[in-house]
Chain A
Amino acid sequence: DAGVIQSPRHEVTEMGQEVTLRCKPISGHDYLFWYRQTMMRGLELLIYFNNNVPIDDSGMPEDRFSAKMPNASFSTLKIQPSEPRDSAVYFCASSFGPYTEAFFGQGTRLTVV
């Protein structure tokens, strides 16, 4: 397995534009997590899914952020409209289940100008 795959690796966009980040979890993993990493706030959990169902989205900063998991092999995180303060590295991670390692993707570095 190639591990958790995220795309794009880098994204530069203008303020107000819609941004969509993509993630393919490891096959067979039941949990999928979206994290945001910044120097100031560290690694923050935004939302996670269990068997494609969103379980906890309390970390989503505001209504501009939305996430979907239409099937077991694909998830998206969308920001609309984007703002400069959304600039960060966004990680997707997946795990087999409780008490198991969460495997992270390479991350998407988002810059909103």
Chain B
Amino acid sequence: GENVEQHPSTLSVQEGDSAVIKCTYSDSASNYFPWYKQELGKRPQLIIDIRSNVGEKKDQRIAVTLNKTAKHFSLHITETQPEDSAVYFCAASNSGGGADGLTFGKGTHLIIQP
């Protein structure tokens, strides 16, 4: 089955700096890659996703890049703010269809230092 590796497990950045979280996946058939944000004690919520026919996608301060050849994708957050502090999960779908059977990475705890 699919295996998703995510790193770092913890990332601390100064407010206003950029943060980058990286993920690799094992199944070359995977073609849907969402990112979820989970605040303490709350549910995971989608912040951005990318499909395999696109190399990059941006939404305000958040961007995701995908390299299908290398089987890795990354989340970039610019101009970080205190409310960005949370755990971020990458995921990959290995079924050939979007939301089927998402496999998640272990998560990155992002800490924004004031």
Contacts and interface: CB of A to CB of B under 8 A. Distances in A.
A105 B46 contact: no
Interface residues of B, number: 22
B82 interface: no
B1 interface: yes
B61 interface: no
Contacts, number: 60
A16 interface: no
Secondary structure type dominating chain A contacts: strand
Interface residues on A, range: 20 to 34
Contacts of A31: 99-100
Interface string A75-113: 000000000000000010001011111101111000000
A45 interface: yes
24 contacts: A35-B104, A42-B89, A42-B105, A42-B107, A43-B44, A45-B102, A45-B104, A48-B100, A50-B100, A55-B100, A55-B101, A91-B43, A97-B98, A98-B97, A98-B99, A100-B98, A100-B99, A101-B46, A101-B49, A102-B34, A102-B46, A102-B99, A104-B44, A106-B43
Given A48-B101, A97-B99, A100-B99, 13 more contacts: A33-B99, A42-B89, A45-B101, A48-B100, A95-B98, A95-B99, A98-B32, A98-B100, A99-B32, A101-B49, A101-B99, A104-B43, A105-B43
